Amino acid sequence: MSTSSAGVHGISNQFVADYAAADPLTATFIGKPGHDERLTDYSPEGHAVRRELAQRALAAVTAAEPADKSEADAKAVFQERIGLEVELHEAGLMEGNLNVIASPVQSLREIFDLMPTETADDWAVIAKRLTAMPDAVANLRTGFSYAADKGHVSALRQVTRVAEQCDKWAGRSGGQSFFAGLIADAPVDGALRTELEAGAKAAAEAYGDLAAFLRTDLASRAPKKDAVGEDVYRLWSRYFTGSRLDLAEAYEWGWAEFIRIETEMKQVANRIKPGSTLAEAAAALDANPRYLVHGKAGLQSWMQQLSDKALMDVRDVHFKLPDELMKLECRIAPPGGPVGAYYTSPTPDFSRPGRMWWSVPDDKEEFSTWREVTTVYHEGVPGHHLQIATAVYQAEKLNEFQRLLCWVSGHGEGWALYAERLMRELGYLEDDGDLLGMLDGHLFRAARVIIDIGMHLELEIPKGTGFHEGERWTPDLGLEFMLTRTITEPAHVHDEIDRYLGWPGQAPSYKLGERLWLAARDDARARHGDAFDLKIFHTEALEMGAMGLDTLRERLAEL
């Protein structure tokens, strides 16, 4: 396809096809076939290919004259997103990308969670990908060394924590490797079984070698200081929010929002156990058998039932949902990653449905549901599943970049947090235990705004907050704040601090995105008066697909 005559949609579609070929992991993630035997090249040369691809496509879209409003909207989205990707490449931040939650080290492992395993042909594809792992990890190490030579190395905390993850997946922390577990029940024999076993062994050894490389070569070059500073933070903040934020205003608003939610939580806690602190109310709920499920299978069954009910309840009442969106699978994630829940998108033909994954500690067998009802709504319905799967379904309205490849944390996580609040408005969180869980989730996200900006910019803690007033944020103070001012489980809190420090600018996107969604809805309701229809607002908003918050503000003002 000639980009000079293809138009914005045509250029965008071609970019997705070209990007899938240059990044096979992304191809599998978004469901673009033809690349599932290969792994992404994270060497400097591989990064250069993707940088040049982005630069060419950005220039072509910039030069293209939109044929209609849909192309004008698509042009704005593409320029903002791919423009930022080019900036990140030019800043030298791609080759050295390493953190505990969402970097190439995790992607190379997690891609196997999304691969089909029903047939011998499926397992043959997995075998080829496993066999490719040593070269892929070697390329990754080369990329890390190249970045280090240019002064771009993640903080020591990230390097050492990721090495621990690699040990886990390599089977060096006790038990079998992830890869051995992956193929253990494969229903194949003969040459294919031999190939799978050899591939799994090679992949595990590659991750073991990567752990050693991180602890020796890279750790010796890694800065001990976690804060990235204002310049790097602003770039990543724009990437995760799609907005040029006033960071001082966001920090101040985060404190106000935190205190507002904390005040309401104390009122709810007093209803649960009169005179109690938040922690005492949480302990009472944790001890209440009504909120307990047992075993990982029990947790999976519980969240599947809750998710299925939410899907049925909101359909044709609060959301317009086609049949393709009426399947959402809930699964327990493989061990080794940070604790928490996440969502993976369906393929364009919906043969692989949307999935909600829950990563829990290996040794945990009892779970309190009062904390997690709101999480199911966040990750599933009406949260990420309705948001992401709706965009995937819009083949007639959106190009493939908009449907499959575009993701902005402020838009996506902001919607999912809005979805939690929406379920409260619709009467689904009237139980005080479930309500306290929802409020704690929102308190947690407000704390993220404060701590993420505060730690990376090393800001002063203001007076009137009741916490180390006048001191400047450090990781230790961030951990103390989360442990003492929220009721989130301690294991999760420790993971979270590591996450913030390695993923600057992402954590505030939840609350800041929710703030925009709520303001836009209030604005639309005020403009339409009695004619305002919530289902129509939701449908039109989600069918626009993902975009940066500044672009979203403009588009929602038109609804």
Quickly state the pLDDT bin for 490 (edges 50, 70, 90).
confident
The answer to whether 66 touches 75, Cβ cutoff 8 Å, is: yes
Give residue 88's pLDDT: 96
**Cβ contact 498:451 at 8 Å:** no
Tokens read off for 2: 């000639």
Q: Give pLDDT tens digits for 172-201.
A: 988 899 999 999 999 999 999 999 999 999
Q: Angle at Cα 359 formed by Cα 354 and Cα 362, nearest 5°? A: 145
For the stretch 395-411, pLDDT in tens is: 999 999 999 999 999 99
Contact between residue 396 and residue 324 where contact means Cβ atoms under 8 Å apart = no
Question: Mean of the pLDDT values across residues 492-520?
Answer: 93
pLDDT in tens, 272-296: 999 999 999 999 999 999 999 999 9
Question: Which of the 8 DSSP states describes residue 316?
Answer: T
Distance CA 210, CA 164 (A): 10
Side chain identity at residue 41, one-letter code: D
pLDDT for position 5 = 56
Angle ∠(377,379,382) on CA atoms, nearest 5: 45
Report the chain's terminal Cα–Cα distance, integer Å: 34
Mean pLDDT of all residues belonging to the chain: 95
CA angle (281, 491, 435) in 5-degree steps = 35
Q: Quote the percentage of the chain above a pLDDT of 90.
A: 93
What is the model's pLDDT at position 125? 98
Q: Is the pLDDT of residue 336 over 80?
A: no
Neighbours of 72 (CB within 10 A): 13
Each residue of 339-363: pLDDT tens digit? 789 999 999 999 999 999 998 888 8
Q: How far is CA 523 from the centre of its chain?
A: 28
pLDDT value of position 491? 80
Report whether 149 contacts 89 (CB < 8 A): no
Q: Please name the helix (run of DSSP H) or strand (run of DSSP E) that holds residue 492, with its range, or none.
A: helix 490-502
Report yes or no: 165 and 100 within 8 Å, Cβ to Cβ. Answer: yes
Contact indicator for 337, 359 with CB cutoff of 8 Å:
yes
pLDDT at position 65 is 97
Q: Which of 452, 390, 454 is nearest to 416 (CA)?
A: 390
Say whether pLDDT at 1 is over 60: no
Residue 170: which H helix or E strand, with range?
helix 156-170
- What does the pLDDT look like over 218-243, one tens digit per residue? 999 999 999 999 999 999 999 999 99
Q: Where are the domains of the chain?
A: 3-238, 239-509
Res 85: pLDDT? 96
Q: What is the pLDDT of residue 3?
A: 45
Query: Would you place residue 144 in the very low, low, confident or very high pLDDT band (cuts 50, 70, 90)?
Result: very high
Question: In angstroms, rounded to a whole number, what is the distance separating the alpha carbons of residues 356 and 411?
Answer: 19
Contact (CB, 8 A) for 370 and 439: no
Which residue bears the tokens 């038109």? 558
Q: Which helix (H) or strand (E) holds 16?
A: helix 3-22
Q: In 261-302, at which residue ranges do the beta strands (DSSP E only) sit?
A: 292-294
Distance CA 151, CA 135 (A): 24
* Contact present, 130 and 171 (Cβ < 8 Å): no
What is the rounded distance in angstroms from the CA atom of residue 61 to the CA atom of residue 75? 7
Contact assessment for residue 200 and residue 220, using Cβ atoms and an 8 Å cutoff: no
Residue 442: pLDDT over 70: yes
| Dist. CA 347–CA 326, nearest whole Å | 14
Q: Specify the amino acid at residue 27.
A: A
Beta-bridged to residue 517, according to DSSP, are none
DSSP-assigned letters across all residues of 110-168: HGGGGS--SSHHHHHHHHHHHHTHHHHHHHHHHHHHHHHHTT----HHHHHHHHHHHHH
Q: Which pLDDT does position 339 carry in this prediction? A: 74
The Cα–Cα gap between 102 and 318 comes to 33
The kind and range of the H/E element at 302 are helix 295-314
| Measured distance CA(89)–CA(235) in Å, rounded | 11
Q: Tokens for 410? A: 């402020």
CA angle in degrees (0–180, nearest 5) for 163-111-141? 40
**Span 120-149, mean pLDDT?**
98
How much is the pLDDT for 2? Answer: 39
Check residue 56 and give its pLDDT.
Answer: 98
Q: By C-alpha distance, which of 236, 282, 541 is closest to 418?
A: 541
Name the strand (E) or helix (H) holding 361: none
d(CA 243, CA 362) in angstroms, rounded, equals: 38
| Residue keyed to tokens 């891609």 | 111
pLDDT digits (tens, 9 = 90+) for 156-173: 999 999 999 999 999 998
Please state the separation of Cα 318 from the chain's center in Å.
Answer: 25
Residue 338 pLDDT exceeds 80: no
Q: Is 292 left (phi over 0), alpha (psi -120 to 50) or beta?
A: beta
pLDDT at residue number 4: 44
Check if the beta carbon of residue 559 is closer than 8 Å to that of residue 525: no
